[in-house]
Amino acid sequence: MQDHIAGPADLRGDCASCFGLCCVALPFTASRDFAVDKPAGTPCSNLQDDHRCGIHARLRQKGFTGCTVYDCFGAGQKVSQVTFGGRDWRTVPREDARRMFDLFPVVRQLHELLWYLTEALTLPAARPVHADLRRMLERTEQLTRQTPEELGVLDVAAHRQDVNALLLRTSELVRAGTRGKKKDRRGADLMGARLKGADLRGANLRGAYLIAADLTGADLRGADLIGADLRDTDLTDADLTDAFFLTQPQLNAARGSAGTRLPGSVTRPAHWAAQL
């Protein structure tokens, strides 16, 4: 099984190996993120016959900002090529296509967990739980490779709880290395908060609502950002060095600058340059 453990490259969307599942399986609601309504299981009007987006280079200009923020963590290619063996939803019976659409969000959740577990294993401070993390990583990978029937009855919530217990312990171990008093703002409502220049080193920001918060120049080194809502959060010149459990979709939803310092697990969003 070890030979099949997903690496970082496998945990990012590879649209060339997917049948445009996110453009079909997921629903859209007309809003600032999407220009139109689209029910789950219905192809987006911009999806082409080759499963490519017809406006990919102009998504933000066309009102589809939500598409530029989203990432499936590699679930699209897993469902397309492994779960359904390379069968295209356009050519299979309708019932099979519907099952493919239903299972895509399930595997996406599992792949997100793989992302966190993989990152946790790179954190030296978490060494005391590395063996447990590795076992959980292998177990999660095994779950992603189950048959459609097995995935259909999987209790993802229960598995998430098991993984979360390990990630919480990882967070405690990592943040313990930050000197001084560390803020615990887990699940806090910080929408629109004025946190310019705030000292948030080693802070627990798990699940915090930071929508449109001003974190300009804030120090977030060593902070736990798992599940934090960073939509329109201003990270201009903020220092996120060694911040952990920060995903690319979270960062894509935020605003930043060339001066924003980032951990090596994510890349600077291309659209940030347009905001300068």
Residues 26-31: what's their mean pLDDT?
Answer: 94
Distance of CA 21 to the CA centre of its chain: 16
pLDDT for the residue 1: 36
**pLDDT greater than 50 at residue 159:** yes
Residue partners of 100: CB distance under 8 A and separation at least 6: 21, 25, 79, 83, 84, 89, 92, 148
C-alpha to C-alpha distance for 264 and 107, rounded to whole angstroms: 25
CB 204 within 8 A of CB 182: yes
CB 84 within 8 A of CB 126: no
pLDDT digit string, tens, across residues 213-240? 999 999 999 999 999 999 999 999 999 9
**pLDDT greater than 50 at residue 36:** yes
Question: DSSP assignment, residue 272?
Answer: H
pLDDT digit string, tens, across residues 85-130? 999 999 999 999 999 999 999 999 999 999 999 999 999 999 999 9
pLDDT for the residue 9: 77
Neighbours of 6 (CB within 10 A): 19
3-state per-residue secondary structure call for 114-179: HHHHHHHCCCHHHHHHHHHHHHHHHHHHHHHCCCHHHHHCCCHHHHHHHHHHHHHHHHHHHHCCCC
C-alpha to C-alpha distance for 83 and 139, rounded to whole angstroms: 16
pLDDT band with cut points at 50, 70 and 90 for residue 275: low
Residues 173-180: what's their mean pLDDT?
Answer: 92
Neighbours of 224 (CB within 10 A): 28
Q: Report the SS3 class of residue 81.
A: helix
pLDDT digit string, tens, across residues 63-78? 999 999 999 999 999 9
**pLDDT greater than 70 at residue 153:** yes
pLDDT for the residue 50: 93
pLDDT digit string, tens, across residues 243-268? 999 999 999 999 999 999 999 999 99
Q: In whole numbers, what is the pLDDT of the chain averaged over residues?
A: 94
**pLDDT greater than 60 at residue 37:** yes
Residue 239 phi, psi dihedral angles, 5° rounding: -110, 105
